Structure 1
Amino acid sequence: MKNKDMLIKQIVKIMTSCDAIIIGAGSGLSSSAGLTYSGERFETYFKDFIDTYHLRDMYSAGFYPYETLEEYWAYWSRHIYYNRYIDSPKKTYQILLELVKDKDYFVITTNVDHQFQKNGFDKTRLFYTQGDYGLWQCSKPCHQQTYDNEDIVKAMLKQQKNMKIPSQLIPYCLRCGAPMTMNLRCDQTFVQDEGWYQAQQRYQNFLQKHQHRKVLYLELGIGANTPVIIKYPFWNYVSQNKNAVYISINLDDLYCPENIHKQSILIQGDIHNILNSVANEMRNDHDTK
């Protein structure tokens, strides 16, 4: 197995010479950027919820059967705010942008924290497949439309007391009167609005445009929960294009099919640190030319 220094140099060479970069990003990327769902960060923002409901992490806390909508939105307004409307603790996304900004790139992600757009990525080159913490939808849903929630979320955060928001802040659908809910893909009620379909089409157009060219499929923090969205398609695209390269960076879940092994680089470690090493190597490489 090649050592990491050699792999970093190889990644720089590939990123420099390729025609396009398609980034597939999962939760591991945001975790590496400091947006963790458990441990110290969870305890800092949700100590009262932890003490009262014995919650273990932000992910499972989102499924807790809160007795009232006042409690539900007290939790979710905090969850949204601290995972969507504040900057990530580390500059991981900014480092990634530095690496790809001068290339023809596109991003497909299962993340819902909006970090790509917050850190300067072109929004016309982003496809959020699983929703967005910054959007609400009708819980039924009675129509296929989403709504920005920033102002009301910040009001909920400011006005909540004893883990409850004021009743008048509970959001209801303006068409049918049902409670609003998060625009997150967790069941068959997920709303794919016009913006979702436009992003999907832009992604498909990008794939088709570059299907036979020198393409880098850069997979960052994709685990085994939903491999059919990014991981398996990436493997398939690489197997059909002898000019393509598959790079996966992750703490674990590092594997690829035998038929694309010679076109692949699997590098284990913290994504932030590895991307930073790639960026430093790329700067050094540029300075010596």
Structure 2
Amino acid sequence: MEHGEKVKQKINEADAVVIGGGSGLSAAAGYTYSGERFQRNFAEFIARYGLKDMYSAGFYPFPTKEEKWAYWSRHICCNRYDQEQNDLYMSIRALVEGRDHFVITTNVDHQFQAAGFDEERIFATQGDYGLFQCAKACHDKLYDNEEQVREMVKRQRDCRIPSSLIPKCPVCGGDMEVHLRCDGYFVEDSAWHEALNRYEEFIGKNRGNKILFLELGVGMNTPGIIKYPFWQMTADYEQAFYICLNKGQAWAPQEITEKALCIDADIADVVKSLQSAGSSHGEAVL
């Protein structure tokens, strides 16, 4: 049986599907952090600071806050706000349409939501580019940032924003930061905890059922969030099955090899093959 056919079979057999989305998924969807896309959107920042890619640029010690937010506002717009619905994410949503499913993701680009996945079925563990928080977490409220960010992009000149646009915490008056888990001050607000509870409840109610753990583009940067728990639950739950799609990093421990399918290939190519397989059989797979 071809890999695409096996993936389709396992999805169709499952009582519940848990999708684990990592950075490799967004890369497969075209949201790469290096190469032509980076050069096209950040040419002046590359020339001035010698930046190599968007990931490492996120840790660059910009000399001033005006320069930092000039870069970050561009980064947020590029990866969060200036994106249309993505075909790959929408195709993945169609794969589980009508099936009990839940998404856990370390991605912060909001693409599952943009593709039409139910907000109540998504747990974004690491934050969201579209939110600001107090840099020192003096309180646990998060703030939508689109209006502020777009104004920063609109008014930046010479890799700087006006000082008046630097975001400040409305409670303590200190700096604001993008809501990303990068230090000990990450805010886990009530919505974050509610999403965690919904995820745990979903796992709990389906642990005795045919549950499919569908891991997409999860690497070894933060394996303790998705990958290791998926492996452990596959081993522990009698009817569980694990599928890993990840170019260059598709593997599973020996203990679950008979309950696992690891496909070392581009996620977009695999999903496209599922579409083709469905069409050739006269089925509306996607």
**Bin for the TM-score computed over the shorter chain:** over 0.9
Say which is worse superposed, 88-97 or 118-127, in terms of deviation. 88-97
1:198 maps to: 194
Match of 2:20 among 9, 20, 24: 24
Contact in 2 for aligned 1:33/1:88 (Cα 8 Å): no
1:92 matches 2:88:
yes
Alpha-carbon deviation of 1:240? 1.0
1:251 matches 2:238:
no
Name the Cα RMSD after superposition.
1.3
CA–CA distance in structure 1, aligned partners of residues 274 and 238 of structure 2: 24
Alpha-carbon deviation of 1:280? 2.8
- Tell me the amino acid that sits aligned with residue 37 of structure 1: Y
Say which is worse superposed, 222-231 or 90-99, in terms of deviation. 90-99
Match of 1:223 among 203, 219, 225: 219
CA–CA distance in structure 2, aligned partners of residues 220 and 32 of structure 1: 10
Residues 105-142 of structure 1: per-residue CA shift (max 9 Å, x gap): 10000000000001100000000000000011001121
Unpaired segments of 5 or more residues in structure 2?
A: none
1:181 maps to: 177
Unpaired segments of 5 or more residues in structure 1?
A: none
1:55 matches 2:51:
yes
- Matched position secondary structure for 1:287: coil
CA–CA distance in structure 2, aligned partners of residues 201 and 118 of structure 1: 22
Contact in 1 for aligned 2:85/2:115 (Cα 8 Å): no
Match of 1:237 among 233, 248, 257: 233
CA–CA distance in structure 1, aligned partners of residues 57 and 11 of structure 2: 39
CA–CA distance in structure 2, aligned partners of residues 13 and 51 of structure 1: 50
Same amino acid, percent of matched pairs: 48
Alpha-carbon deviation of 1:89? 8.5
Contact in 2 for aligned 1:35/1:89 (Cα 8 Å): no
Contact in 1 for aligned 2:167/2:176 (Cα 8 Å): yes
- Kindly report which structure 2 residues correspond to 1:111-130, keeping only aligned pairs within 5 A, or say none: 111-130=107-126
Match of 2:38 among 4, 17, 42: 42
Contact in 2 for aligned 1:139/1:180 (Cα 8 Å): yes
Contact in 2 for aligned 1:35/1:88 (Cα 8 Å): no
CA–CA distance in structure 2, aligned partners of residues 235 and 283 of structure 1: 32
Q: Across the two proteins, how many residue pairs are aligned to each other?
A: 284
CA–CA distance in structure 2, aligned partners of residues 283 and 236 of structure 1: 35
Q: What is the TM-score with the length of structure 1 in the denominator? A: 0.95
CA–CA distance in structure 1, aligned partners of residues 14 and 25 of structure 2: 22
Residues 42-70 of structure 1: per-residue CA shift (max 9 Å, x gap): 00000000000000000111111111111
2:152 maps to: 156
1:78 matches 2:74:
yes
1:211 matches 2:207:
yes
Match of 2:10 among 4, 7, 14: 14
Q: What is the TM-score with the length of structure 2 in the denominator? A: 0.96
